[in-house]
Amino acid sequence: MASKEGPVCQIFSFQDSKTSPDPIFELPAQCSTPTPVPIVIDNGSFQTRAGWAAPGAEFDSPRLLFRSVAARSRGAARSETQIGNDIPNLEPLRWLLKSQFDRNVVVNFEIQELIFDYVFTHLGFTSEGSVEHPIVLTEAPCNPLHCRQMMSELLFECYRVPYVSYGVDGLYSFNHNNSQRGLQLPHSGIILSSGYHSSHILPVVNGRLDAVNCKRVNVAGSQAASYLQRLLQLKYPGHLAAITLSRMEELLHEHSYTAVDYHEELEKWRSPEFYEREVHRIQLPFSGKVPGGCVSVEERQERRAQQLRRLQEINARRREEKLQQDQERLDKLMAVQELLEDGLLDQFHKSLVQLNMDSAEELQSYINKLQLAVEQGKQKLLHSDGVEGKTEVSELEQPMDEGDGVALMDSDFPEDTLPEKPANVVQPVFNMAEYHQLFVGTERLRCPEILFQPSLTGEDQMGLMETLQYVLARYTPEQQEALVSNVFLTGGNMQYPGMKERVERELLAMRPFQSNFKVTMASQPALDAWYGARAWALEHPAGGGAGGAEGWISRQEYEEKGGEYLSEHCASNVFIPMKIAKPVPARSAEPSVTAQTPASAAVTTVTSTPTPSSSSAAAAAADVAMVTS
């Protein structure tokens, strides 16, 4: 409802917060003895979080939080690369920024190695070539085997770590919040996870990820920030440089919200009262100095007097220069006429040709014009010298207007005349502060809406809730009831106000009449993945036997089973080994044998076709490729 005392203008300003370099911590003694403590790294596409999985209040939060970007110019050395918080302002280096991610999958392992170097150095490791601590690392849902193989190779071969554990960030957050709520194991539910580059639907059945029915939506925070930047740049073409991507991310985090009913909310914005009450005015920095503003009468008269004196000096100087040029040309023409009077006709005709003249009459005409111009110039110069003092005194005694200096300009120099302005005209007041304001109205809800309607940005794919409906349709009604009884929202892009209410409304329209469901938001959507990974590492210590504990990959297993091997646990992906079916080589039949017995021909025919076992293995390999991609 509209406020009775009138709309209140809400003016905000950009924080433009600049990061400070992370300190280099000392390696805690309790993290090395008696056994090395695991390092927990949440390798997010927007932000990397790293810390220790050790008991104690000083280790219950990540030590390092920084953007997952590196600024490295072409041809620069590794030591010149800026990473994370070493970059105070991202915008000047935006064209140099590189990330290890393509969507949500790590593909640039050179940048990933620089990120690991940054993490281990700032955590206090000084040893060269080895990190003698287990690593808990997050990875993408259904991570491709090749990407996991490259990551394991980097950790085991480059850093010589003893154990590695991989898990999905959404599952870590899911298990952490379920344990806080006191739910009994095993947990079942469905996770809606939205990050910086992509969003995921992750069904969890009896405590394990159902990888076959996982789905990804390629719309998340980065697309919302780009969409908001495009909308505001089209709305304010005069402030293109001020509408940067970093400021758009700040607008999304601080001023955007999710509409429970999108079309109904847009109808509210049609009301002028609602618009004035809800619009956020973002004040851009500007200079308040306006040329010619707030000048007193005395200062204005002094400026006019100085202007008049300058104009008089310019006029006098130009008159003298013009008079001197006319006099020199007149003397030259008179000298040519004297040649005619002295009877030197040859020299006279040569001089006429040089002057581009045809006859003596034309020469005489030019001489008469120049004599008249020189005489007038001398009279004007004498007149201006005699009345200069009187003119200046009389002009200073009278009120001066904008066009007073024009009277002293000579008509011979029209290019120096000033445009006349009528006196005592009230100029409109220009509000410089209001001109440098961004009115963020419906953009506050239009940008988060692309998560549910990607078609707003031209994306030809399903939205988050439509994808959820598609995933639920792949289960039996009993399984659907178990999944929707624990719908869990996590990820940094789920922190918009109204997100939980919007999901509940969409589920109410989607589910059968009088069916039950429950939607839960993570306590800290952006950080619960790290807290869940830390809690898992504390409950499942590394080591123990040749094969290691559950969820941990030892160096021996890496060497025996390959880099793509995954030790499954409650928050991990499903490991499906890639079995490549080797085709059975066809035996070349000898002509003599084929000719003697028909059975040998039958054998040849059988061996030239794939066996049923090999075809089933090939089909299984195709299924694996579909799931892992």
Choose among 488, 511, 527: nearest CA to 138.
527
Choose among 43, 34, 35, 59: nearest CA to 133.
35
The DSSP-derived string for 361-382 is HHHHHHHHHHHHHHHHHHHHHH
Q: Which residues contact 204 (CB under 8 A, 6 or more apart)?
A: 171, 174, 187, 188, 189, 190, 191, 210
Q: How many whole angstroms separate alpha carbon 400 and alpha carbon 106?
A: 73
pLDDT at position 340: 81
Q: What is the residue whose two structure tokens read 């988060």?
A: 448
**Amino acid type, 216:** R
Q: Look up residue 31 and give its DSSP letter.
A: G
| Average pLDDT by stretches of 10, the chain with 629 residues | 54 91 92 90 96 92 96 80 92 92 95 95 89 96 96 96 97 96 90 97 96 97 97 96 95 96 97 95 80 66 87 85 85 83 81 81 84 83 64 45 44 47 57 90 97 95 97 96 97 96 97 94 96 96 69 95 94 87 62 41 37 41 39
- Residue 225: Cβ within 10 Å count: 21
pLDDT at position 588: 55
The secondary structure of 135-190, three-state, reads EEEEECCCCCHHHHHHHHHHHHHHCCCCEEEEEEHHHHHHHHHHHHHCCCCCCCEE
pLDDT at position 234: 97
Backbone angles phi, psi at 199, to 5 degrees: -120, 155
pLDDT at position 289: 59
pLDDT at position 302: 86
Q: What is the residue whose two structure tokens read 């193989």?
A: 149
pLDDT at position 400: 44
pLDDT at position 429: 66
Backbone angles phi, psi at 70, to 5 degrees: -135, 135
Length of the chain in terms of residues written: 629
What is the token pair recorded at 167?
A: 């898990």
Choose among 129, 150, 123, 126: nearest CA to 139.
150
